[in-house]
Amino acid sequence: MNYSGLLVTSNPQELQATLKALKKMPNVEIYQVQEEASRCIIVMEGQSVADEVDGFKAISELPSVVDVSLIVHHFDEEAYIKPMTEMTPLN
């Protein structure tokens, strides 16, 4: 199992839209919200690194999101690692 802590920055007028979209995403939990800075910290869980890459990409493509930064990552060594050929490119 993989866990990542992400800092998600939203357009100032669209923080609530960002939070609403994040709440609908599987394996995503909003940990802390800083409204005055239009950002939040989330924890994302994935069965594989590829799952987390896909989740990171989905968050970064939300129309209200300005930036997504990986703050911390924990990798369970017993988790299955997909070969690079099976991973979705970030483009």
How high is the pLDDT of residue 63? 96
CB count in 10 Å sphere of residue 60: 15
Topology of domain 2-86, CATH: Alpha-Beta Plaits (3.30.70)
Q: What is the pLDDT of residue 89?
A: 61
Q: Taking the model in full, what pTM does it have? A: 0.80
Residue ranges per structural domain of the chain: 2-86
Question: Which alpha helices (H) appear in the chain, and where do they start and end?
Answer: 15-24, 49-60
Number of neighbouring beta carbons within 10 Å of residue 88 = 11
Q: What are the pLDDT digits (tens) for 12-59?
A: 999 999 999 999 999 999 999 999 999 999 999 988 888 889 999 999
> Considering only CA atoms, which of 66, 9, 73 is closest in space to residue 37?
9
Tokens 């690194």 sit on residue: 49
Q: Could you give the CA distance from residue 48 to residue 87 in angstroms, rounded to a whole number?
A: 10
